[in-house]
Structure 1
Amino acid sequence: MPSSPTERQMGVWAATAVVTGEAISLGIFLTPAAMARSLGSPALLAAVWCGMALMTLAGALCFTELAVRNPQDGGEYLYLRRGFGPQIAFLYAWMAALVMYPGVAASLCVGTVPYLQALFPVPLWLVPALPALMIAALGAINYVGMRLSSGLMTVLNWLKIPVLLGLVGWAFVSGHATAANLAPLAARRAGSDPLGAAIAGAAVSAFFCFGGWWEAGKIAGEVRNPRRTLPIAFTGGVLLVTALYLLVSLGFVAVVPMEQIRSNTAFVAQFGASLFGPEGGRVLSACVVLSVAGGLLVLFMAVPRVTCALGNAEPSGPLRIFARLHPRFGTPANAVLLQTGMALVILMLGAFDRILAFIIFSSVVFLALTAATLFRGPAAKAWWYPVAPLLFIGGCGVLALMLLASRTVPSLIGAALVLLGLPVRRFMVGKAVAPAGLVGARNDR
């Protein structure tokens, strides 16, 4: 990436919005209900959130150190390349750019359509095309400039916070929420899942509900004063997300008792109707659309930076095309087009649900490997080292084993899809060696 200081356009507010944006998305309305129904106890629900928050905070400390050491665009790809070499890094980029993130984008766009229909009278003939139109619009916004996409992303993601706090506050002020629905705090309700399975399932759900906080590392090259901004964004963002999930989860249960939660999607309607009557569905639908839009903007802004870093790092071959910046807009235009095009392809194939099921296991493994790169270089001079990386790696290992045990076939298929990147890289890159100094280059711009 060019080294002009003017490229660093994102301050603390924008960088923190990246951390919170994808974590506070559709999952904040659906996951707490599923977790509450399975766990059957407000105390267990809070304990799982706090446990995952501790693990997430440990990961955020690790990613902060990595981002400050490597304040360029690319995130996990950059860290893995410098820690474990170009092949492991390519496998991550192969999974992220071509499979995982386009699948996430397609899934979120499809999941948002019912909420758009609740808000606007969408013609039936237009409904099937809405996800594709959303993907194309997001791609166009990120194609024409970082300033536009960053500004819009920051506004939407910070707007979520008062909206969610307002929902919880109104629930208690209006009298619809009652502490009686939380009591007894520790006793499990009838019909809850077996304790071990409930905790394991809730832990996996909570971890992925927090998911996306690591995206700030991907756009580190766009951040002003990264040594100051990135630690605030990572740790502050994770703490903010934790507080919101705890408040929203307990607020939801205080309005709709656990015994009455029927399903994730039905719960959104139940909660909205309880607070706002017949218009509740529209109010909650607007909140969902706002939350998902902010998360999608983060995704479409961050992921092309990984592909661009891949193109910059490979010394030859067709991948170099993704390193080019638009001559007018200064954006990684070809990488944005790849992200948009792959999301449209996956959407048309209707394969996003299967792809996500396949890739979850591999994504956890790559998160653990990324944190492990801290042990491949100079030791971090921080009070939390080495406890934080060991805690995060251990937590990821436990989650990966849970996923492998419960979703063995999809996990193995996903791992095979990721490993398919090895012959692809050999075909596209050959035996070329990276130029001296590229892998270890440092640039604080």
Structure 2
Amino acid sequence: MEVDPQSRRQMGVWAATAVVTGEAISLGIFLTPAGMARSLGSPALLAAVWCGMALLTLAGALCFTELAVRNPHDGGEYLYLRRGFGRRVAFLYGWMAAVVMYPGVAAALTVGTVPYIQALVSVPSPIAKALPPLILITLGALNYFGTRLSSGVMTVLNWLKVPVLAALVGWAFISGHATMANVMPLSVRRPGSDPLIDAIAGATISAFFCFGGWWEAGKIAGEVRNPSRNLAVAFSGGVLIVTAIYLLLSFAFVAVVRVEQIQSNTAFVALFGQTLFGAAGGRVLAMCVVLCVFGGLMVLCMAVPRVTYALALSEAGGTNQTGALATFARLHPRFNTPANAVLLQTGMALLVLMLGAFDRILAFIIFSAVVFLALTVATLFRSITPVRRWWYPSAPIVFIAGSGLLAVMLLMHSPGSALLGAGIVLCGLPVRWVLTRRGEVSPAVAADTISS
């Protein structure tokens, strides 16, 4: 059954912007700034790292806006890489994203949020153990039964974060618990800080991970109304919102809790909450964490199945083909969702959860993920139709150079994990070869051309 492409475009600018902010503002915002502040030892350095990463992210957002507007279909990076570097490179990204990396991210977030749920509600231990799979199944069901429903829930959750976190910052200063004495002098490094180069490198990597996810809007471009306008607003506006939230919240953190008092991330969160809200601090912060994590999970559960759908549609040669891949290339006849891809994503996350392998997956795949982001932006230089924007070629050069530097840092910091992760990604090549040998890849689409 053919589906009218326009009938799928049910997401407006608010929903698209919520996708950009949703995964970026997640659990990391409550944990990362503490470690960064302790390592850097200077509020000025902390602000400089955030601003530097914001500049890199904005450069990437401009590039992804152009790619999404030129390719207003589901798939995001997979689609851009396929048209820029061919099917094999794109398949490797799709393999990593749909089968390995994102199921690990989803599993890690569900496990990480359970202690905060327990801080809000008294949950018996057996039920607490069942919460991660229940969360994954519930979010999978929301995405299975319709884009309008899932995007509505996702939009509400992610836009609710902004006033909640803004109120947290406002209360820190209105209540008098935040004081400039804790951040002064701005540029002097506190005792116990890490060596400067190591501190900047570590903080930059942490900031990149914290910003991570802003690119997800490209994956759902096929379901955004008026993509040329709404995606441009979503990418740029979303990145600016995330930057403002991170700068304000980080400043509030160090203004309430002196850098010298930071011993660990979790202890810092507890101390920050207790300082602001007394005995109720733990519950208030737990509520903020749960809200941020659930919003991020909704983005993942919406975006990643669209990659699987785009990959299957391309490799299987269309919706009328048969075989394993073609199963994921079909939309649900009633709900207009990539239902089988949603089931695959949910099933893989449950499998990773059962194996308890999410921490290892994340450590192994991060290096490859950074490389794929740089390659994605590099496709702008391979487009047949020239890019005529005021920021070109500066923005892609800045983003590719910054991503390359991050990849080198990761390779130097954890060479074993980085190389093993690259090996896991390259395992996608024999998988594709097997599918090709079995006739799963249509000869009619075996070749791809570079196009805009």
Q: TM-score, normalised by structure 1?
A: 0.97
Q: CA deviation at 1:203?
A: 0.3
CA deviation vs aligned residue, 1:284-309 (integer Å, no higher than 9, x gap): 00000000000000000000000000
What runs of 5+ residues in structure 1 fail to find an aligned partner?
none
CA distance in 1, matches of 2:165, 2:449: 43
CA distance in 1, matches of 2:448, 2:294: 35
Q: Kindly indicate whether the alpha-carbon contact (under 8 Å) linking 1:313 and 1:438 is maintained by their aligned counterparts in 2.
A: no
CA distance in 1, matches of 2:371, 2:243: 23
SS at match of 2:444: coil
Is 2:58 the partner of 1:51?
Answer: no
CA distance in 1, matches of 2:193, 2:394: 35
CA distance in 2, matches of 1:45, 1:140: 40
Matched residue, 2:115: 114
Is 2:423 the partner of 1:423?
Answer: no
Is 2:353 the partner of 1:344?
Answer: no
Q: Kindly indicate whether the alpha-carbon contact (under 8 Å) linking 2:76 and 2:220 is maintained by their aligned counterparts in 1.
A: yes
Alignment of 1:139-150 (within 5 A): 139-150=140-151
Q: CA deviation at 1:324?
A: 1.1
Q: Kindly indicate whether the alpha-carbon contact (under 8 Å) linking 1:157 and 1:294 is maintained by their aligned counterparts in 2.
A: yes
CA distance in 2, matches of 1:434, 1:73: 23
CA distance in 2, matches of 1:302, 1:35: 29
Match of 1:389 among 367, 385, 396: 396
Q: Percentage identity across aligned positions?
A: 71
Is 2:339 the partner of 1:333?
Answer: yes
CA distance in 1, matches of 2:4, 2:333: 15
Q: CA deviation at 1:30?
A: 0.5
Q: Kindly indicate whether the alpha-carbon contact (under 8 Å) linking 1:40 and 1:258 is maintained by their aligned counterparts in 2.
A: yes
CA distance in 2, matches of 1:394, 1:412: 20
What runs of 5+ residues in structure 2 fail to find an aligned partner?
none
Q: Report the CA distance shift for 1:434/1:13 in structure 2 as closer, same or farther (over 3 A).
A: farther
Alignment of 1:28-427 (within 5 A): 28-314=29-315, 315=317, 317-377=323-383, 378-427=385-434
Q: Kindly indicate whether the alpha-carbon contact (under 8 Å) linking 1:313 and 1:434 is maintained by their aligned counterparts in 2.
A: no
CA distance in 2, matches of 1:294, 1:438: 38
Residue-pair matches, total? 443
Q: Kindly indicate whether the alpha-carbon contact (under 8 Å) linking 2:177 and 2:275 is maintained by their aligned counterparts in 1.
A: yes
SS at match of 1:435: helix
CA distance in 2, matches of 1:310, 1:191: 49
Task: Indicate the larger mover: 197-206 or 323-332.
Answer: 323-332
Q: Kindly indicate whether the alpha-carbon contact (under 8 Å) linking 2:83 and 2:450 is maintained by their aligned counterparts in 1.
A: no
Q: CA deviation at 1:440?
A: 6.3
CA distance in 2, matches of 1:48, 1:413: 29
One-letter code of the match for 1:213? W
CA distance in 1, matches of 2:132, 2:324: 30
CA deviation vs aligned residue, 1:51-73 (integer Å, no higher than 9, x gap): 00000000000000000000000
CA deviation vs aligned residue, 1:216-249 (integer Å, no higher than 9, x gap): 0000000000011111000010011001100000
CA distance in 2, matches of 1:244, 1:387: 26
One-letter code of the match for 2:428? G
CA deviation vs aligned residue, 1:322-356 (integer Å, no higher than 9, x gap): 01111221110110000000000000100000000
SS at match of 2:140: helix
RMSD: 1.6
Is 2:444 the partner of 1:435?
Answer: yes
SS at match of 2:102: helix
Q: Kindly indicate whether the alpha-carbon contact (under 8 Å) linking 2:84 and 2:451 is maintained by their aligned counterparts in 1.
A: no
Q: TM-score, normalised by structure 2?
A: 0.96
Q: CA deviation at 1:429?
A: 2.4
Q: Kindly indicate whether the alpha-carbon contact (under 8 Å) linking 1:20 and 1:157 is maintained by their aligned counterparts in 2.
A: yes
CA distance in 2, matches of 1:437, 1:14: 35
Q: CA deviation at 1:7?
A: 1.4
Q: Kindly indicate whether the alpha-carbon contact (under 8 Å) linking 2:86 and 2:449 is maintained by their aligned counterparts in 1.
A: no
One-letter code of the match for 1:413? L
CA distance in 1, matches of 2:174, 2:448: 56
Q: Report the CA distance shift for 1:175/1:438 in structure 2 as closer, same or farther (over 3 A).
A: farther
